[in-house]
Amino acid sequence: MSTTNSYPKWPTFVLFGDSITQYSFSEDGCWGALLTDHLQRKCDVLNRGFSGYNSRWCKIMLPKIITADTAKNVAGVTLFLGANDSNAGDTNPRQHVPLSEFKQNMADIIEYLQSVGIAREKIIMISPPAYNIDAWRVECDKKGKPCSKTAENTQKYAASCVELCKETGIWSVDLHSEMLKNENWKEMLNDGLHLSTIGSRLLFKLLQPIVDKLTSGLPMNYPLWDEVDYENPNSSLQ
C-alpha cells in the first residue's frame, strides 16, 4: 500500500497555560473540547496545560514544547496564565510571581513564539478569570491550605494581560472583564477559581471569532464521504 500522501501535516492549535488549560477537555472545563470539536478535520488541538504552574516556570518550559520545527505547523496559540502568579507572596511563595515579573515573563513568551516563526497574529492571550473568594476559601479549607488570593490582585494581573496585548499587537481575550458583565458570573466557576461549564462556554464564545479568522483558510482534511470516488478510492484518498 502506498504511503504517499499529498495532504500536508495537520496544522496544530496549541493551548498553553495552567490548570484551566489542563482541565479544558474535562466535563466542566470544556472550552478546549469545544474548540477541538469546532476545528475537527482542520486542526489538531494540543493541550499543553500544567496545573499549578506559573509564568516563570512556563517560560522555561516553552522552548521544549514549541520548537522552531514544530512551530512551522502552528495555526494558533492560546496563552492562559496568571491565576497562579497572582497568589500572595507571603502565603504562597511557591506559585506567586510579582506583577512586574509576570508581565515581563508573558512578554518573553510572546517574543520567543515570534522568534521561532509564529506571527503575532496567531497568538491569543487570555486573561485570568474573575475570582470568587468565598467559594475558593471553602476549597482551601477542605485542603487545609491558606487562601492566598484576592479578587483585587487577580484583577491587576488580568489588566496586565490586556495591556500587554495592546503593546505587542497580539489578540486579547479579557475573560475577567467579560465574566463580570454577567450577574451570574459566580456560576461560571465551579470552585471559585476554575471554570464551570457555563464559564467554559463563555470562553469558547469569546475565542471562536478569533479562531475562525486564524483558520478560515485551512481546508477540511480529506473529502466528505459522499465525495469519495467509491469505485477508485485511491484517487480520492492519496
Q: Among all residues, which ones are annotated catalytic? A: 19, 191, 194
Cβ-based neighbours of 171, under 8 Å, separated by 6 or more? 121, 123, 124, 125, 165, 210
C-alpha pair distances (Å), 21 with each of 33, 91, 169: 11, 24, 23
User: Strand pairing partners for 189?
Assistant: 195
N-to-C CA span, the chain: 11
Per DSSP (E only), the strands in 65-206 are 74-80, 123-126, 171-173
What is the C-alpha separation between 104 and 160, in angstroms, rounded? 10
Find out whether 183 and 113 touch, Cβ atoms under 8 Å: no
Find out whether 174 and 127 touch, Cβ atoms under 8 Å: yes
Cβ-based neighbours of 174, under 8 Å, separated by 6 or more? 127, 158, 161, 162
Q: Are strands 171-173 and 123-126 parallel, antiparallel or unpaired?
A: parallel
* Cell numbers given for 29: 472545563
Find out whether 121 and 214 touch, Cβ atoms under 8 Å: yes
